[in-house]
Amino acid sequence: MKADHLSFKRATGISLIGLVLQLVMGLTMLVNASVFKDPSGFAGALLILAGSLVWLVLAVVFDQHRRERIETLETESLAQAGARESSVFGDRPDELNIAAKRLAWMHRFLIPAASIVFALLLSGVGVWLFTDGRRILEKDLFKSYAQPGWPIAIGIVLAFVGFVFGRYTSALGRQQGWAILRAGAAQAACAALVGLAIAVAHFVDHWVGPDTVARYLVVAIPVAMLVIAVETILNFLLGLYRPRRAGEIPRAAFESRILGFLAAPDRIAESIGGALNYQFGFDVTGSWFYQLLTRSLTALVLIGVAATWALTCFSVVQPNEQGLRIRMGSQVGDRLAPGAYLKLPWPFERIERFQATTLRRLNLGGDQPKVRNSILWTNDHGVEETFFVVQPTADASSAAQARNANDVSVLSAEVPLFYEVTDLSAFEQLAAPDQRERIILATARREVFKYLATQGLDNVLGRGRGEISAALRQRVEAALNNLRGGQGAGIKVVHVSIEGVHPPRDTAEMFEEVVQSHQKRVGNLQTSDRQANAMLIAVAGSVEAARGIVRAIDAADSARQAGKPADEVARIELAAEDLLAKAGGSAAVKLQAAKSDRWETHLKARSRAESYAGQLASFEACPEYYTAKVYFDALGAAVGKSRLYIVADDAQRLWIETDLKDQGVTGNLFKDNANKPPAE
């Protein structure tokens, strides 16, 4: 086909048709997804609508090609035939090459800029949809559709229209000058692939088996957006360094090679054949064996597909599993024990297998702490905690109890539930696969909340945790057995317990202060006991001896208060005194000292009495002598430590010579000396 203005006009029309089809397919899918609340359909609609940008750019570029061809014809008619080359990049006068310059600008700037916008659009929408889709998968918010007829029908129509139009435009892309039309063919193939995926997902979800395909399609389409965006960026970067020949139309960066294979699957065989020829060094595709293989390839593929399909008639239930026979979406028979089974081929019948003997865990409270250091009440456990309502600590005061009658306390507890499936049929009939554990978790957690709300704070934190765990297991097991109208959930509760419990982090220090107060109280009591024992040992020699002495003293006091005879009371007191004396402590020492002082005082008093009797006898024998003796004794006692000078009354002249430093001077201190002046 000659690349003239008529051919480019036709290419422009095909691009506009592709733009209209792409918009119709995308908007149809978008309306359907909005009506039926289909997240995968919504993501697919945005991916299809993003391809409209490619068709729009192709229509603009092909129209500019048409204008450039017309400009070339006009230039050639003015410059006469054969004067100038008709290539876009040929040498022409600037005033006659306006359309050619504009076309070159589009290939150099418009298409790369549109490719970047296309990649950014896909990456932004892909990240947004992937985040929402992953949240739906994690929280099991995906809902199957009761009437998936419209999504399946629309998906099949989109798959047919997109594939046919993509094949058509891909074939047209082989024509001279129409190579960039393959980018639009790739977008049409993308729309066909999205429609087929949505139709298959809803068909499998409703008539064949679980909703796994439909659920994961919610994130698969955003991932496909990101892959196409990355491919576009790589094409753009590689295009910057790709050498160009004069007159060659550069390949558009938004042309997806991956989607191009879907639009033209025959290129896959050509690529494989070229790779084989390159690897072996000769024309493998021209050999008789390869030609024979290609003639029989269809039959071989059909036989392989048939054999693979026939293998779906066999299924094996492993020793640690239980199985259910599902025929056309309905359960047939009871649960299947481990072993090999024969069934109808897929998708008419399947055997769902479940690892029934595997021990499973559900956290009725908070998750296990994710910390490497010590797990304390006051540090962060690294997980979201679940708080339970409990009764506050009992108060001994009736007024305080009346005041706190409506008060409650909260505790963060880790309460794991371990269970195993014993009846797969009952377990499957409990609810949808994504709802079973949620029902078990909600039922068991409700029982935990109800029971802990009746328990005291000290009981849950203290020694009552074991009894509470046993009671929780019984209550949770009874509640799960009452599901489905008393038929049970088909599971066995293996273990329920409180693994960890602590008050809220901001109140943990208050609890520690109470514990510290108790510890200080115990420490003070122990210190007091130690000091008391030390005092008893110091007083009585030993603690046992001191206690015996105290009992003896108490017995004497009791006897005295009871009015017993004095001799009996004295006997008891003497016994207590004897114990105290034999103990050998400080009390015995003081008792012995008191006895010694008593005897000393007694003997002194007796000595004075005897001395008085002797003095009285002396006085009676010679009163004058006794009186003088007593007088001089008293006078000697009064002046015994003083210097005494005795002089005569009639002394006329007296000279006193003394040395005040001498204490014990003998001899006559008074002498008569005429040479010395008389005393005045």
Residue range 33-59, pLDDT digits in tens: 888 778 888 888 898 998 899 989 988
Q: What is the distance between the alpha carbons of residues 135 and 125, in angstroms, rounded to a whole number?
A: 16
pLDDT at position 2, please?
Answer: 56
Q: What integer is the mean pLDDT of 330-351?
A: 82
Q: What is the distance between the alpha carbons of residues 13 and 17, in angstroms, rounded to a whole number?
A: 6
Could you tell me if 36 and 181 lie in one domain? Answer: yes
Q: How confident is the model at residue 669 (pLDDT cuts 50, 70, 90)?
A: very low
Q: What integer is the mean pLDDT of 587-593?
A: 76
Judged against a pLDDT cut of 50, whether residue 195 lies above it is answered with yes
Could you tell me if 319 and 458 lie in one domain? Answer: no
Q: What is the distance between the alpha carbons of residues 485 and 297, in angstroms, rounded to a whole number?
A: 58
Range of the structural domain that residue 330 is part of: 314-354
More confident residue, 210 or 463: 463
Which token pair is 82? 């054969």
In a domain, 675, yes or no: no
In a domain, 667, yes or no: no
Could you tell me if 343 and 377 lie in one domain? Answer: no
Could you tell me if 10 and 148 lie in one domain? Answer: yes
Structural domain tally of the chain? 4
Judged against a pLDDT cut of 50, whether residue 209 lies above it is answered with yes
CA distance to 385, 455, 569, per residue, from 497 (Å): 16, 15, 66
Domain CATH number, residue 387: 3.30.479.30
Could you tell me if 467 and 571 lie in one domain? Answer: no
Cis, bond preceding 148 (omega within 30 deg of 0): no
In a domain, 497, yes or no: yes
In a domain, 283, yes or no: no
Which token pair is 171? 């074939």
Quick count: other Cβ atoms within 10 Å of Cβ 492? 15
pLDDT at position 491, please?
Answer: 84
Q: How confident is the model at residue 656 (pLDDT cuts 50, 70, 90)?
A: low
Q: How confident is the model at residue 674 (pLDDT cuts 50, 70, 90)?
A: very low
Share of the chain above pLDDT 70, in %: 76
Give kind and range of the element (H or E) at residue 552: helix 543-561
Say which residue the tokens 């390869």 belong to.
290
Q: What sections of 140-211 are H helices per DSSP?
A: 149-172, 181-203
Could you tell me if 491 and 520 lie in one domain? Answer: no
Could you tell me if 83 and 194 lie in one domain? Answer: yes
Q: What integer is the mean pLDDT of 220-244?
A: 85
CA distance to 32, 425, 539, 549, per residue, from 578 (Å): 110, 90, 14, 9
Q: What is the bridge-based pairing of β-strands 655-656 and 416-421? A: unpaired
Which token pair is 312? 């779906």
Contact 224, 186 (CB under 8 A): no
Q: How confident is the model at residue 146 (pLDDT cuts 50, 70, 90)?
A: low
Could you tell me if 331 and 463 lie in one domain? Answer: no
Contact 345, 310 (CB under 8 A): yes
299 class by beta-carbon count within 10 Å (0-12 exposed, 13-18 middle, 19+ buried): exposed
Could you tell me if 80 and 141 lie in one domain? Answer: yes
Q: How confident is the model at residue 611 (pLDDT cuts 50, 70, 90)?
A: confident
The 10s digit of each residue's pLDDT in 259-268 is 776 666 555 5
In a domain, 546, yes or no: yes
pLDDT at position 649, please?
Answer: 65
Lowest mean pLDDT among 301-310, 479-488, 631-640: 631-640
Share of the chain above pLDDT 90, in %: 2
Q: What is the distance between the alpha carbons of residues 343 and 419, in angstroms, rounded to a whole number?
A: 31
Judged against a pLDDT cut of 50, whether residue 399 lies above it is answered with no
Judged against a pLDDT cut of 70, whether residue 548 lies above it is answered with yes
Which token pair is 277? 């020829």
Could you tell me if 469 and 518 lie in one domain? Answer: no
In a domain, 231, yes or no: yes
CA distance to 50, 124, 209, 309, per residue, from 348 (Å): 37, 40, 10, 11
Could you tell me if 213 and 345 lie in one domain? Answer: no
Q: What is the distance between the alpha carbons of residues 256 and 183, in angstroms, rounded to a whole number?
A: 7
Q: How many residues does the chain have?
A: 680
Give kind and range of the element (H or E) at residue 238: helix 212-241
In a domain, 176, yes or no: yes
Judged against a pLDDT cut of 70, whether residue 293 lies above it is answered with no
In a domain, 182, yes or no: yes
Cβ neighbours of residue 291 under 8 Å, at least 6 residues apart? none
Question: Of the candidates 551, 584, 617, which is a domain's last residue?
Answer: 584
Question: Of the candidates 542, 568, 584, which is a domain's last residue?
Answer: 584
The closest alpha carbon to 468, from 477, 484, 456, belongs to 456
- Dihedral sign computed on CA atoms, order 237, 238, 243, 245: negative
Question: Of the candidates 503, 536, 570, which is a domain's last residue?
Answer: 503
Could you tell me if 391 and 328 lie in one domain? Answer: no
pLDDT at position 85, please?
Answer: 46
Average pLDDT, the chain: 77
